[in-house]
Structure 1
Amino acid sequence: MNSLSQIPSISWLDSQGSEGVESDAHVGAALNWLASSSGDAAAFFDRLRAAQARYRAITAEASFLGKDPSWSDLGPDIVAAYLAQGKSLLDDRRTYDFALVSHVAPWLKQLGMNIEALKRVDGAVGRALRMLRNKEVLPDTAIFELVMASNYAAAGYDVTFIEEGSGKTPDLKLSGGESSVEVFVELKRLQRGSYEIEEQRRHVEIFSRLDVLLNKLGLSVDIDVTYEKVLSDVPVDYLLQRMNRALENQIILPNGYPWKDEYGRGIIRPANVDAVRHDIRNSYLYFGMKLARLLSGRAVSDNHYHLSAEASPSPKDPRYIDRIKYGSVVTWKCIAQASIERKAKYVMSKLAQADRQIEGHGRGVIHIAMDVELDSDASDLRRQRNSASLCSFQLESQTIIVHLHYFVPRQSENHSWLSDETVDTFSRLEEPQEPFRAFPCSTKLDNGLPAWRQKLRP
């Protein structure tokens, strides 16, 4: 889903002379609604400008070049850092982040598309205010709740956020619509699993040992590795050892230096630095996914590549380069069964919680959302397990429909932001039920593939 619409005159948004990436009236409308909901619009945008300044300072550090920031890297006000990506899309190209924006812009876009319906949702302002006051908690769950509430309102329902009391309560009450029967909605969002976070942190350690050698010798290599053991069992100097053996090998192999051992398999080839130099001959290049693609000659997956290079940063934006002396890329994945199992976090606990919160209130609908890895066997297994769980779970409440939402926020060279959604729907009703999507106006791809298996052309 991508918009190129023009932004109207908005008093609270102030570009301060900066240039944005994309003019999107819906993202602007969502930010203005949140500003109004905060009770102090000027202070709200001051928070976002402060978050932009923190991002600018952090990414100006030389040690940060080529590293995608996490929300926790951007200071204690995580809510402001999150929402600032929407503001940066509109007014500040320097603080717009390729890796983070797709976690934010689609949700603000959808909220803004439903802005008139959102204004009719009883309790929406209170829910937004509670989110804005809780600075240290990533607001993706609250944004999901607000988006789905506005989607129901846009579909013709009267929607009310139910205040949390001493007992278990659902999130929303729906009335009107096609039926006069009240329906209660519970919304859950699974956070990124601790195992996945730890696995990626471990690979940063493995790469860091190699990185020292790459910079010491000024190497330009392309390394692609597939681990067959969990990364906690892989020696931290594993890639360093493989690189040293390749350098010691006197035999020149036309297709690179391959290896296979007890930990996995891989290949080391020369990196295509000439492709990078051709690309930046008359322009700058972001030190990120496209650089990795040019060096390796293949598409790379979000969160599963590392870069090492000596390059000259742009004086206007140190995240971009205009000259390169040498550069290397490492791409990786882990196919160890134990790793796939651990990352296939499924929905049983969230489903049980949602069932208890609807129980005793009436007919119910449950939405459970989760981010999944692009092109991942773990994502395939997660979906299989989730489906099996839904088919066997004994609901105690009068829940009639369960929607499972799988989201893949992704980086793309062709879009300012992009997120794919797959929805699996399970129903107790006799007639088939259409999925109730978070992004109902996005383009449908009827190729039978789930979100994480969709391919983009570079």
Structure 2
Amino acid sequence: MLLPEFPPHMFERLPDETFHYGDFPDLSAGVGYFQDLMGMENWKERREAAAWRFYRSLVGEQEDPSSEGRFYGLKDLFGWYLFLGESFTDHPQNYEVFYGCRVVPVFAAIGRNLALVSQIEGFEERARDLIGPGRSQPNGGLFEMLVALAYARDGAKVAFKPEEPGRAKAYDLDVEVDGTSWAVECKRLEGGDYVESERARKRELWSPAARLIVPSGRSIYANVDFSVELGDVPDDYLFQNVVEFLRSGKDSSRWSDDYASGVIGDLDLEPLQTALEDGYLLYPGPIYNKLLTGTYIRYDELNTLQKVKYAENPHFIDEVDQAIVLRTRSLSEGAIEKKARDFKRKLVEASRQLPVDRPGVIHIGLEALGDDLIEHRRYEKIMNTINDFDPKGKPLSFIYWHYFAPEASPEATWAFDETCQWRGIRSDKRPLSLTSLIIPQQSEGRDGAHWDGVPNETFRAP
């Protein structure tokens, strides 16, 4: 149970704190920019609200009407982002690594380019909207800022186009390059309802089975690869497999049928418990997950029920007496097709917002948080969309699409892959030569995509 109030040092770096991530000036600059616009008193209130939501969720005291297990509230999603950005350097004991790896590189990219902000007309107004009315949906605004900074970094004159009340939404940026004026529209593609519904369905399938195991005191690990969509799996599917396993008296068993193939067996907690003898472990975190399951998998899908003793800070675990873990993959043909979301709808919307009196550019940002098979499929769908796309008479010249692949691993607090692709629709000279919105120009890159099987020099935190 949490204390009724946070300790005085809650948002400070502790003198004896050993778990920290070092200094990151670019990140601090980006976070500080938004904090200054927000005002420190306002920020402290929002920071405390984000912290309470996070810690109450960790210990199971936070009601979640969505049943999606979020550590954050959607009403002030930007406040959660800023909380993660600040905690990385200033109070690392509060930093949540899995979501933070998606946020830290973005704030760092903005901080790295703050000298350009004064040259971009309307940038501050867009930022103020982001921290105020747009706080519940910050991804689109942050993406627009990254695109604007990229054009400015490339030498263009850039201005945010102000919205006109009572008129249909226009494009986002006016960009001038070598005397040519461009209209630029930005769209951000989110993860989608299907991914969220899959997560909820896994909890529905696993919760009764996990609760059945608890009284036995056994630590159990199950690894299941579903061959059909989760909505087609019987409600008691995992429960019945667990019942059969427990009745068998075996240490482990395997199965394969029309729904899935799986293995279930006793989980050895010794590696995790041995590590805990040397000190607390951050939870949730990739190091903890690797010690618990024996392997680290990028974009892992774990459902974990544990009997633990928290450290004084419940973001860290002191002891583990029992753990019941489900690791899954959902890569049926139907699931791959639905998770590999194309951006056709976003492309059509963006094209409609472009004017008819000047050449247009569309930028679409996509977050890649799925298996490489999903990204392969999405690439195929996107290329079909691009090849068949009709701008309906609009002078659309170029389409850029940017894949962002964040990661938190046992080896790096955060790492980031970024793949940029573009297609010329007309014969105009390309207005943006840069291919990276987030990764610094001095980082190493290569031709190809992050999902193509060729080893990447993934950009990692300094």
TM-score (norm 1): 0.86
Residue pairs, 1:358-377, within 5 angstroms: 358-377=354-373
Q: Which residue of 1 aligns with 2:382?
A: 386
Q: Which residue of 2 aligns with 1:173?
A: 174
- Cα shift at 1:273: 1.0
After superposition, the Cα gap between the structure-2 partners of 1:63 and 1:331, relative to the gap in structure 1 and judged at 3 Å, is: farther
Paired with 1:287 and 1:167, the residues of 2 have a C-alpha distance of 46
Q: Which residue of 1 aligns with 2:310?
A: 313
- Cα shift at 1:351: 0.8
Paired with 2:310 and 2:109, the residues of 1 have a C-alpha distance of 35
After superposition, the Cα gap between the structure-2 partners of 1:216 and 1:63, relative to the gap in structure 1 and judged at 3 Å, is: farther
8 Å Cα contact 2:53/2:62 also seen in 1: no
- Cα shift at 1:133: 1.3
Supply the AA of the counterpart residue of 1:385: K
Q: Which residue of 1 aligns with 2:37?
A: 37
Q: Which residue of 1 aligns with 2:86?
A: 87
Gaps of 5+ in 2: 1-9
- Cα shift at 1:221: 2.1
Residue pairs, 1:233-382, within 5 angstroms: 233-249=232-248, 256-288=252-284, 289-302=286-299, 304-315=301-312, 317-382=313-378
Paired with 1:199 and 1:92, the residues of 2 have a C-alpha distance of 34
Supply the AA of the counterpart residue of 1:172: L
Paired with 1:435 and 1:232, the residues of 2 have a C-alpha distance of 43
8 Å Cα contact 2:98/2:407 also seen in 1: yes
8 Å Cα contact 1:358/1:397 also seen in 2: yes
- Cα shift at 1:247: 2.1
Supply the AA of the counterpart residue of 1:27: L
How many residues end up aligned between the 2 structures? Answer: 433
Residue pairs, 1:405-444, within 5 angstroms: 405-428=402-425, 429=427, 436-441=435-440, 443-444=443-444
Supply the AA of the counterpart residue of 2:278: N
8 Å Cα contact 1:148/1:438 also seen in 2: yes
8 Å Cα contact 1:406/1:451 also seen in 2: no
8 Å Cα contact 1:56/1:94 also seen in 2: no
SS of structure 2 residue aligned to 1:100: helix
After superposition, the Cα gap between the structure-2 partners of 1:98 and 1:227, relative to the gap in structure 1 and judged at 3 Å, is: same
Structure 1 stretch displaced more, 207-216 or 434-443: 434-443
8 Å Cα contact 2:418/2:439 also seen in 1: no
Structure 1 stretch displaced more, 122-131 or 305-314: 305-314
Supply the AA of the counterpart residue of 1:401: F
After superposition, the Cα gap between the structure-2 partners of 1:363 and 1:220, relative to the gap in structure 1 and judged at 3 Å, is: same
Q: Which residue of 2 aligns with 1:11?
A: none
Supply the AA of the counterpart residue of 1:210: A
8 Å Cα contact 1:304/1:331 also seen in 2: yes
Per-residue CA distance 1:33-90 (angstroms, 9 max, x = gap): 223334x3442344234423442344344789xx99536x437322212211111112
Paired with 2:155 and 2:447, the residues of 1 have a C-alpha distance of 30
- Cα shift at 1:435: 5.7
Supply the AA of the counterpart residue of 2:123: A
Paired with 1:201 and 1:68, the residues of 2 have a C-alpha distance of 6
- Cα shift at 1:321: 1.8
Paired with 1:292 and 1:17, the residues of 2 have a C-alpha distance of 25
Paired with 2:347 and 2:449, the residues of 1 have a C-alpha distance of 25
Q: Which residue of 2 aligns with 1:123?
A: 122
- Cα shift at 1:224: 0.8
After superposition, the Cα gap between the structure-2 partners of 1:150 and 1:42, relative to the gap in structure 1 and judged at 3 Å, is: farther
8 Å Cα contact 2:68/2:199 also seen in 1: no
Q: Which residue of 1 aligns with 2:6?
A: none
- Cα shift at 1:17: 5.3
Per-residue CA distance 1:217-236 (angstroms, 9 max, x = gap): 12222211011111111123
Q: Which residue of 1 aligns with 2:394?
A: 397
Q: Which residue of 2 aligns with 1:7?
A: none
Paired with 2:448 and 2:207, the residues of 1 have a C-alpha distance of 39
After superposition, the Cα gap between the structure-2 partners of 1:118 and 1:387, relative to the gap in structure 1 and judged at 3 Å, is: same
Per-residue CA distance 1:160-193 (angstroms, 9 max, x = gap): 00012314521111114xx211122111001121
Q: Which residue of 1 aligns with 2:103?
A: 104
Per-residue CA distance 1:133-156 (angstroms, 9 max, x = gap): 126523111111112211211221
Paired with 1:82 and 1:139, the residues of 2 have a C-alpha distance of 9
SS of structure 2 residue aligned to 1:104: helix
8 Å Cα contact 1:362/1:398 also seen in 2: yes
After superposition, the Cα gap between the structure-2 partners of 1:46 and 1:411, relative to the gap in structure 1 and judged at 3 Å, is: same
Paired with 1:231 and 1:50, the residues of 2 have a C-alpha distance of 35
- Cα shift at 1:291: 3.0
Paired with 1:75 and 1:339, the residues of 2 have a C-alpha distance of 26
Q: Which residue of 2 aligns with 1:6?
A: none
Paired with 1:119 and 1:135, the residues of 2 have a C-alpha distance of 21
Paired with 1:51 and 1:236, the residues of 2 have a C-alpha distance of 35
Paired with 1:135 and 1:58, the residues of 2 have a C-alpha distance of 24
8 Å Cα contact 1:173/1:182 also seen in 2: yes
TM-score (norm 2): 0.86
Paired with 1:313 and 1:322, the residues of 2 have a C-alpha distance of 5
- Cα shift at 1:380: 1.6
Paired with 1:337 and 1:306, the residues of 2 have a C-alpha distance of 23
Paired with 1:335 and 1:86, the residues of 2 have a C-alpha distance of 33
Per-residue CA distance 1:251-281 (angstroms, 9 max, x = gap): 66xxx41101121111113322111122222
After superposition, the Cα gap between the structure-2 partners of 1:402 and 1:318, relative to the gap in structure 1 and judged at 3 Å, is: same
Gaps of 5+ in 1: 1-13
After superposition, the Cα gap between the structure-2 partners of 1:167 and 1:54, relative to the gap in structure 1 and judged at 3 Å, is: closer
* Identical residues among aligned pairs (%): 23
